[in-house]
Amino acid sequence: MLEAALHFAMIFRSFSGSLRGPAGSGPRRPVLDKVELPPIEKLAALARLELDPGEKERLGTQLTKILAYFEKLSEVNTEGVEASPYAVALKNRFREDCPADPEDGMLRGQDLVEQNAPEKEDGYYVVPPVMGGEEA
């Protein structure tokens, strides 16, 4: 849990801090214009993806091309248009906070959950050191 929390905290910090739009454009840009793709290494680090040199080159070129195509959206006047995160209007749904019915299968699967763990000890997941980088 702690690892996961740290993981997301790091991603969040990276998003809010280190990767800003082009200088001078300000954080809120109403329309698209020519956008330079940040270095592929930066994006790969944010996405926690190790890329080999061939992938870096191919993906960098392709992403630039794809983004250029996305600029087509700047033709559309969206002033006063509301955003639709979902196609249908969804409301938050609450459910009762109570133990699951043992018959619905969610509790039966606990052994399988454990079997899926790549490394475990006494019912805990084992991961390499969170900091330091010593050989595992």
Partner 1 sequence: MKLHQLSAKEMRAKAVSGEVSPSELVDSCLEAIGRQNDLLGALISVDAEGAKARAKDLEAARARGETPGPLFGVPVGLKDNLCLEGQPMTCGSNILKGYRASYTATAVKGLLDAGAIPIGRCNMDEFAFGSSTEHSAYGPTKNPWDLERIPGGSSGGSAAAVAARMLPLTLGTDTGGSIRQPAALCGIAGLKPTYGRVSRFGLTAFGSSLDQIGPLAHRVSDLGLALQAMAGRDPKDPGTLDNAAFEAGDQAPSRLEGLKVGLPKEYLDDRVAPSILARIEAAQKTLEALGATLVPLSLPHTQYAIPAYYLVATSEASSNLARFDGVRYGNRQKAKDLEDLYLETRGKGFGEEAKRRILLGVFCLSAGYYDAYYLKALKVRTLLRQDFEKAFAEVDVIIGPTTPFPPFRLGESEADPMQLYLCDLLTAPANLAGIPGLSLPCGFDEDGLPVGLQILGPALGDETILRVAEAFENATDFHSKLPTEAVQ
Q: Which of 5, 24, 86, 123 binds partner 1 (CB under 8 A)?
A: 86
The count of chain residues that interact with partner 1, using the rule CB under 8 A, is: 82
Task: Give the CA radius of gyration of the chain.
Answer: 22
Task: Please report whether residue 20 would count as binding partner 1 according to CB under 8 A.
Answer: yes
Give the torsion sign (CA, 60, 17, 8, 121): positive
Task: Please report whether residue 9 would count as binding partner 1 according to CB under 8 A.
Answer: no
**CA 125/CA 121 separation, integer angstroms:** 6
Smallest separation, CB 43 to partner 1 (Å): 5
Task: Give CA separation, 7 vs 1, 10, 11, 86, 92, in Å.
Answer: 10, 5, 6, 27, 27
Q: Which of 9, 19, 39, 57 binds partner 1 (CB under 8 A)?
A: 19
* Binders of partner 1 in range 23-82 (CB under 8 A): 25, 27-32, 35, 37-38, 40, 43-44, 46-51, 55, 58-59, 62-63, 65-67, 69-70, 72-76, 78, 81-82
Smallest separation, CB 51 to partner 1 (Å): 6
**CA 99/CA 77 separation, integer angstroms:** 50
Residue with tokens 């749904």: 93
DSSP reduced 3-state for 125: strand
Q: Which of 9, 92, 97, 99 binds partner 1 (CB under 8 A)?
A: 92
